[in-house]
Amino acid sequence: MKSIKLLLIIMALLPLAMACSNSTSADDIEEELTEDEPNGLAVRIVNTGDSKMEVETGGSTIVYFCYEDECEDDAGYFSYAEVNTGAEMMFDTSLPEKVAVGVYVGFEVTRGSGHFEIVSGVSYRDDDDWAEFDEVDVLYTSGTLSSGDKADYTYGNME
C-alpha cells in the first residue's frame, strides 16, 4: 500500500518537475538578443528654451534616412512640429522594415530654441501596424539652434 501511495505522489509531482525545468537554449538567447539590437535611427527635437519651439521642413530643409540598400527618394515633404518648453519629441524615425545606416537632418527653427539628437534604437511595428521606436543610445547632440537657424547635419553612411 505504501508503494502505491509513493508511486501516486511521484506521478503527481513529475509534471510539476518537468514544468519547472529551464528549457532556454543558447539559440533562444541569441534570438532574443538579435531582436533587440538597434536597427533604426531617429531625430529627436529637445526644447531647451523658455517658450514653445517650432521646427519645419520643406524645400531645401529635409530629413531623410539611408538604409543598407538605398536612401529614401521621397524625402523633402513638408513637416512641422511644436515642442513645449522643457519637452522633447521624436521628429522622424527610420522605417522598421529596413536597417538604417545614416540620416541627413535639415530643418528650420521658426520659433524658440533647443537642439536635436540623433538616436539609435529598435524600430518595429506594433500589433496595429504602427511604426514604433525604442531608444537605445544618443549618438549625436547638436549645439543650440534658435529662431531662424537651420539644422544641416549628416550622420552615418549616406551613400
Interior CA angle at 120 toward 118 and 67, to 5°? 90
Q: Residue 2 above 60 pLDDT?
A: no
Distance CA 55, CA 80 (A): 6
pLDDT tens per residue, range 51-73 = 999 999 987 788 999 999 899 86
pLDDT tens per residue, range 140-151 = 999 999 999 999
pTM of the model as a whole: 0.74
- 14 Rama sector, left if φ>0, alpha if ψ -120 to 50, beta otherwise: alpha
